[in-house]
Amino acid sequence: MPDNLIIDFDSTFISLESLDEFILNNISNSANSSELRAKIEKITNQGMEGIIDFNFSVNERLKYLSANRDSIKSFSKILKKNITNSFLSNKKFIIKNSNKILIISGGFTELIAPVVEDFQIKKDQIYANEFMLNKNGMIKTISKKTLSYKHRTKAHLVRSLNLKGSTHIIGDGMTDCEVWRKGYADEFYAFTENIKREVVVRCSRQVIDCLDDYIKIIS
């Protein structure tokens, strides 16, 4: 086990993209929901594959979000039902090593924290965006105070943490791979249990189909 294990959240720790589903969950009765899903998924995939700036893709998706603080609480229950299978089956492993785990995500802390707390991963181990609410309690945009916003990329964020010892990163996107390519992690493991992005697989030296594969490698 490395000294630091960075794990992505969307399509890695959970089986879906939390922001996408959060947006769609709040417009599910719309007649154009299928069209909107296709549009949002396209923006997400372009960001994950490095075709467009990832933070730009987050802001573009936020334009379609109409939700408040109560919506966040209710949606977290849905996310808990969509934890990736191999993470659920290896819950004891995660809890045992929880003090070495960092969740670094382009998603939102308010959606991530309720899910990972069941694995004894604390809020201060999460580095992600945070929602900014307007005076009516509606989600408006991304808070500019978070490290994720200030550092723009995962690679820059990890560099700023100045982690000591060995560092591994598990994720499904190019933003995860870049942490390793820029030298801020010793190994990157392209995670394909939920989605296989060929550009990410080509970028990596190690490909794992599930968390069990990673555990075998480090054992």
Give the total number of structural domains in the chain. 1
pLDDT at 188: 98
What mean pLDDT do residues 151-170 have? 91
For the domain that residue 172 is a member of, what is the CATH number? 3.40.50.1000
Sign of CA dihedral 149, 150, 153, 158: negative
What is the pLDDT of the chain when averaged over all its residues? Answer: 89
Q: Identify the band that residue 28 occupies on the pLDDT scale cut at 50, 70 and 90.
A: low
Q: Identify the band that residue 213 occupies on the pLDDT scale cut at 50, 70 and 90.
A: very high
SS3 content of the chain, % helix, strand, coil (to 5): 50, 20, 30
Alpha carbons 159 and 192: distance in angstroms, whole number: 25
Within 10 angstroms of residue 31's Cβ, the number of other Cβ atoms is: 6
Within 10 angstroms of residue 96's Cβ, the number of other Cβ atoms is: 12
Closest among 184, 171, 199 to 12, alpha carbons compared: 171
pLDDT at 29: 56
Tokens representing 22 are: 């959060």
pTM for the whole structure: 0.89
Q: Identify the band that residue 32 occupies on the pLDDT scale cut at 50, 70 and 90.
A: low
Tell me the residue type at 1.
M
What mean pLDDT do residues 73-87 have? 94
pLDDT at 158 exceeding the cut of 70: yes
Domain that holds residue 114: 4-218
pLDDT at 143: 77
Tokens representing 101 are: 């785990």
